[in-house]
Amino acid sequence: MLLSDLKVVEWSTWIAGPGCAAVMADWGAKVIKIESATGDATRTFWPDTAESPGNPIFSNENRGKRGVVLDVGKPEGRDALIAILKDADVFVTNVRPGALKRARLDYESLQAALPRLIYANVTGYGLTGPEADMPAFDLTGFWTRSGVAHATIPPDQEPFTCRPGFGDHVTALATLSGILAALHERHRTGSGRQVETALIRAGCYALGWDYSIHLRYGQAVTAQPRDDRPAALGGFFRTKDDRWFCMATRGPRDFPAVMAAIGRADLIDDPRCVLPITDLAVVREIRAVLDAKFATLTLAEALALIQAVDVICAPMATLDDVVADPTAHAAGCFVETPDGWGGSFKAPAAPVRFPATPTGPAGPAPKLGQHTQDVLREAGFSDEAVKALFASGAAL
């Protein structure tokens, strides 16, 4: 497996940190998840029982890991975590910077003792600045604070939230890329380093098209009401079976191709339609022509018409549509995941495949504290020392 020689320790909750480590586990890394006695909050979102095996949310972010419970607020628990980290390659945490520093588990406190460790901080707003210790979810840091929501939601609509974990998964992949770069550097230098990602920065990067224009020219390009959008061919269109599809143009050939396909070749040579069309009234007129045509076609017919002239388009798919879509399965969107009770279920796959090299869940998500004793023994604790940690409440 790709990362089978790596030991990863993850001390984080919710999505971005665990999601990063979960992809590494899918790729073969040996991942140990550290939790408190109450466990990762995502454990509570779905039952994990013999009658309903396999919490889908927790499993998606934690499959293939081993689970350890430590109370790092106790000196014995902190020492146990450091012992587990002694031979680790990567440490991933989304504990807030202030709490890490108070526990003396921040990068600066561990660097001298663990010089080869890649230490990855997943944050809301970075490690410096006045809000470095501010709590954040992707709904706040990625979606709202970074400008993504304002740029995405048309001004004539009431603001809406992003889907759960949406920005977290973007941040998880950003964290993973930073970790892999640091590991590559360590092969050359022998030294570890700190890696830091922030929800707000991941949001700004995801909105990079808009920000690049705004930073260079001061223009604020955001979503607009459909009737005010300047591209006649771009955007969503409704079909007669009450479905929507999206069309996107990539060059000057698309306009004449679509006009010919819908039987309006007369517009190709209309002087008002010379590209680029800057008159919004003409744009609206063309969009009305397209709306009228697609209102007479089913979704399948409309897609066939546009695809026949090699213009980019796609149906607005529901979750049910995608789950049943042969293309989604051929693209590897889903993977069979063990449920921890002897069965399995489908779950989203990691977004990268390596042809000819199988990857995927190495096992189910761990039960709370399932592997605490085994991991402590591997870290050098004797049976008596393990019993003492459990007796003190520093381990579970």
Could you list the pLDDT tens digit for every one of the 396 residues in the chain? 899 999 999 999 999 999 999 999 999 999 999 999 999 999 999 999 999 999 999 999 999 999 999 999 999 999 999 999 999 999 999 999 999 999 999 999 999 999 999 999 999 999 999 999 999 999 999 999 999 999 999 999 999 999 999 999 999 999 999 999 999 999 999 999 999 999 999 999 999 999 999 999 999 888 999 989 889 999 999 999 999 999 999 999 999 999 999 999 999 999 999 989 989 999 999 999 999 999 999 999 999 999 999 999 999 999 999 999 999 999 999 999 999 999 999 999 999 999 999 999 999 999 999 999 999 999 999 999 999 999 999 999
Measure the CA–CA gap between 275 and 255, rounded to whole angstroms. 9
Asked whether 93 and 20 are in contact (CB, 8 A), the reply is no
Measure the CA–CA gap between 274 and 251, rounded to whole angstroms. 13
pLDDT tens figures, 159-203? 999 999 999 999 999 999 999 999 999 999 999 999 999 999 999
Tokens coding 266: 């007369």
Measure the CA–CA gap between 336 and 344, rounded to whole angstroms. 6
Asked whether 273 and 282 are in contact (CB, 8 A), the reply is yes
pLDDT tens figures, 351-390? 999 999 999 999 999 999 999 999 999 999 999 999 999 9
Q: List CB contacts of 30: < 8 A, sequence separation 6 or more.
A: 4, 6, 7, 8, 66
Least Cα distance to 53 among 325, 261, 339 occurs for 339
Measure the CA–CA gap between 309 and 195, rounded to whole angstroms. 46
Asked whether 259 and 268 are in contact (CB, 8 A), the reply is yes
Q: Is the pTM of this model over 0.75?
A: yes
Measure the CA–CA gap between 193 and 191, rounded to whole angstroms. 7
Enumerate domains of the chain plus CATH numbers: 7-207+328-392 (3.40.50.10540), 234-310 (3.30.1540.10)
